[in-house]
């Protein structure tokens, strides 16, 4: 499955790549956005692409054959060490696309999708020990409920956590479809009135918890300002309100301090023609900033 990058027109408008400028794509994935940047920053501008998932680095290498692309398998929270190691700079723009890719959903086999029967894994980085299976089988009811409520904004967190704990007493919860069945039983008829699938919020919450996504986002924001050249641009695409809130309030504070200028007073969302081609873009929100 080909991953369609979201909000490409808006990314290029606000990153505004010019010839010979250098950019960092903190979550390069299969390189959809990176490819477009490389078109604009010719002849000698570079892109440093970072991804925690080694498979995505392989995918990106296969799809972009350009020596101006520098790829690193690692976490964007180590961005300062990475740019030092790669001697990469000056940096004119940074893109942080916080969504996971269609490939991870469809082909990774790691249980990101509630529509496939796969092991409950959800790790981007296989070297880490925590998986979704560990959370659902070993965490306390209180802790599971907290994860579902905080990270998934799941109204039925208490009922789902209760049902998970009941079910695992008789048998370990191993697969995504087993978990989907448990969620369905926990919330009974409520799910028929919701616009989104009844398992969406639970799967989102588990993925965020496994990969520590919100803490990682909070950690990287000060670093991306410090490594950026004066006048450099930052574009951040988030896919749920928790991420968007962190980004919004962090940069509001920085604007008050006078270190950045907010370029998008409200987050930009996908236009109707993009939504037709790529329904996943419906939850994408883009915010852009300029370092002063």
Nearest-10 Cα torsion for 196, 201, 202, 206: 140
What contacts 8, CB < 8 A, 6 or more positions away?
Answer: 32, 33, 36
The architecture in CATH of the region 108-211 reads Orthogonal Bundle (1.10)
Lowest mean pLDDT of 47-51, 102-106, 215-219, name the range. 102-106
What is each CA distance from 130 to 135, 200, 212, 217, in whole angstroms?
A: 8, 20, 10, 19
The architecture in CATH of the region 8-104+213-291 reads 3-Layer(aba) Sandwich (3.40)
What is each CA distance from 173 to 114, 136, 139, in whole angstroms?
A: 14, 7, 12
What gap in Å lies between CA 9 and CA 224, rounded to an integer?
A: 22
Backbone angles phi, psi at 289, to 5 degrees: -145, 155
What gap in Å lies between CA 123 and CA 130, rounded to an integer?
A: 8
pLDDT tens-digit readout, 144-153: 999 999 999 9
pLDDT tens-digit readout, 197-215: 899 999 999 999 999 999 9
What gap in Å lies between CA 210 and CA 72, rounded to an integer?
A: 22
pLDDT tens-digit readout, 47-56: 999 998 888 8
Inform me whether the pLDDT recorded for 159 exceeds 80: yes
> Which residue spans of the chain are classified as CATH 1.10.150.170?
108-211
Inform me whether the pLDDT recorded for 99 exceeds 80: no
What gap in Å lies between CA 237 and CA 289, rounded to an integer?
A: 12
DSSP-assigned letter for residue 268: B
pLDDT tens-digit readout, 18-42: 999 999 999 998 899 999 999 999 9
- What is the pLDDT, as a whole number, of residue 77? 94
> Which residue spans of the chain are classified as CATH 3.40.50.150?
8-104+213-291
Q: How many helices (H) and strands (E) does the chain have?
A: 13, 7
- What is the pLDDT, as a whole number, of residue 191? 55
The single residue listed with the structure tokens 């007073």 is 265
Q: How confident is the model at residue 83 (pLDDT cuts 50, 70, 90)?
A: very high
The helix or strand, by DSSP H or E, that contains position 23, with its residue range, turns out to be strand 23-25
Burial 164-191 (b: 16+ CB within 10 A, else e): bbebeeeeebeebbbbbebbeebbeeee
What gap in Å lies between CA 120 and CA 112, rounded to an integer?
A: 8
């Amino acid at each position: 499955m080909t991953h369609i990058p979201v909000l490409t027109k808006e990314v290029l408008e606000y990153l505004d790549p010019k010839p010979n400028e250098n950019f960092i794509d903190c979550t390069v994935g299969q390189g959809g956005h990176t490819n477009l940047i490389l078109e604009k920053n010719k002849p000698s501008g570079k892109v440093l692409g970072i991804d925690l998932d080694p498979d995505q680095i392989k995918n990106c290498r296969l799809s972009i054959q350009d020596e101006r692309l520098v790829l690193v398998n690692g976490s964007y929270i180590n961005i300062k060490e990475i740019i030092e190691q790669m001697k990469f700079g000056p940096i004119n723009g940074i893109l942080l696309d916080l969504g996971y890719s269609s490939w991870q959903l469809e082909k990774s086999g790691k249980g990101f999708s509630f529509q496939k029967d796969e092991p409950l894994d959800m790790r981007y980085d296989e070297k880490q020990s925590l998986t979704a299976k560990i959370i659902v089988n070993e965490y306390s009811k209180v802790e599971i409920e907290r994860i579902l409520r905080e990270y998934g904004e799941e109204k039925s967190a208490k009922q789902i956590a209760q049902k998970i704990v009941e079910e695992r007493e008789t048998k370990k919860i191993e697969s995504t479809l087993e978990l989907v069945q448990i969620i369905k039983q926990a919330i009974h008829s409520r799910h028929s009135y919701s616009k989104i699938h009844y398992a969406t919020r639970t799967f989102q919450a588990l993925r965020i918890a496994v990969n520590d996504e919100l803490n990682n986002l909070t950690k990287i924001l000060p670093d991306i300002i410090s490594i950026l050249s004066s006048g450099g641009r930052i574009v951040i695409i988030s896919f749920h309100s928790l991420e968007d809130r962190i980004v919004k309030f962090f940069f509001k504070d920085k604007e008050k301090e006078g270190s950045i200028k907010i370029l998008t007073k409200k987050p930009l969302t996908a236009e109707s023609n993009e939504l037709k081609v790529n329904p996943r873009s419906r939850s994408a929100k883009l915010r852009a900033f300029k370092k002063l």
